[in-house]
Amino acid sequence: MDPIRVMVVDDHPMWRDAVERDLAAAGLQVVAVAANGAEALARFGAARPQVVVLDLQIPAPNGVEVTAEIVRQDPSVRVLILSASGEQADVLAAVKAGATGYLVKSASREELLDAVGRVAAGDTVFTPGLAGLVLGEYRRMLSEPDANDQPQLTERETEVLRLVAKGLSYKQIAERLVLSHRTVQNHVQNTLRKLQLHNRVELTRYAIEQGLDD
């Protein structure tokens, strides 16, 4: 398989260089680096990364704005926030903008590499302890949908969706429900089709909205 193509965006040179070095040493391809939001947006189009490892607190435009813009340009890109802030408001803003994962900078090298691989594969990844806070707050912020307009999911599809909302990988869901990896993928694809959603990130948001992350 081709190495995962990654772009690193951070305004601290030593930190940016360390992340770039760790990614490269693990066999990933760092296709671009940037020190601020303007550089990130300028280099994103030509670099075509699969994953963007992005700090939130960067010179304008900030990480949330950069996330929203690159996801608008390429909905297939995965944004992994790597920030010093573990504040709930920052995490929520990043997720709403389209980020697929959020790690605080105290994460280990191994956690970072694992997170890059997981978000590239379509999983959502949060630093432990943040996911529950974010999912609960996200649900509270959303108005109650009209139940009459909701598509009908099977019990198994709802069960899979609930585990997606908790941030489990397809492999973990398969083990939890004693199903094959492909069966889990099929359930997710069927659910996406019924809900007229396009990817796992949107599916996770839908599950949060429905309160399925409890």
For 38-77, write each residue's pLDDT tens digit: 999 999 999 999 999 999 999 989 999 999 999 999 988 9
**Tell me, what's the pLDDT at 188?**
77
Would you say residue 203 lies in a domain? yes
Would you say residue 69 lies in a domain? yes
- Strand arrangement of the beta sheet that strand 51-54 belongs to: 29-34, 5-9, 51-54, 78-83, 101-104, 125-126
**Tell me, what's the pLDDT at 132?**
65
Tell whether 80 and 175 lie within a shared domain: no
Last residue of a domain, one of 74, 98, 129: 129
Tell whether 158 and 118 lie within a shared domain: no
Tell whether 29 and 87 lie within a shared domain: yes
**Tell me, what's the pLDDT at 136?**
62
Would you say residue 102 lies in a domain? yes
Write the CATH number for 53.
3.40.50.2300
Share of the chain above pLDDT 70, in %: 79
Last residue of a domain, one of 85, 103, 129: 129
* Number of separate domains in the chain: 2
Would you say residue 149 lies in a domain? yes
Confidence (pTM):
0.67
Tell whether 61 and 167 lie within a shared domain: no
Tell whether 35 and 102 lie within a shared domain: yes
Which residue segment(s) compose the domain that 25 sits in?
5-129
**Tell me, what's the pLDDT at 53?**
97
Would you say residue 176 lies in a domain? yes
Tell whether 196 and 159 lie within a shared domain: yes
Tell whether 23 and 125 lie within a shared domain: yes
Would you say residue 214 lies in a domain? no
Question: Which residues of the chain fall short of a pLDDT of 70?
Answer: 128-151, 193-202, 209-214
Tell whether 107 and 46 lie within a shared domain: yes
Tell whether 148 and 125 lie within a shared domain: no
Identify the residue whose tokens are 């189009």.
45
Would you say residue 166 lies in a domain? yes
Would you say residue 136 lies in a domain? no
Last residue of a domain, one of 73, 107, 129: 129
CA proximity to 28, closest of 105, 112, 104: 112
Tell whether 164 and 89 lie within a shared domain: no
**Tell me, what's the pLDDT at 159?**
84
